[in-house]
Amino acid sequence: SQTITASSLGSTIRGFGISISGGKDLDRNSYPDVVIGSSVSNHIVLLRSRPVVIMTGSLIAGSSSVTLKNDTCLVPGFSQPLPCFNITLSVSGRISGQMRTNKLVVNVSVSLDTDKLAPAKRLFVMPSQQTVYNPLL
d(CA 25, CA 34) in angstroms, rounded, equals 9
10-36: pLDDT as tens digits = 878 888 888 899 889 898 888 889 999
Q: Angle 136-102-130 (CA atoms, 0-180°, nearest 5)?
A: 50
- Average pLDDT rounded to a whole number, residues 66-77: 75
pLDDT bucket at 133, cuts 50 / 70 / 90: very low
Mean pLDDT score of the chain: 76
d(CA 46, CA 13) in angstroms, rounded, equals 13
Radius of gyration of the chain (CA): 25
d(CA 33, CA 22) in angstroms, rounded, equals 6
Residues in the chain: 137
* pLDDT above 90 as % of the chain: 5
Report the sign of the C-alpha dihedral through residues 39, 40, 42, 43, in that order: negative
Bridge partner residues of 34 (DSSP): 22, 47
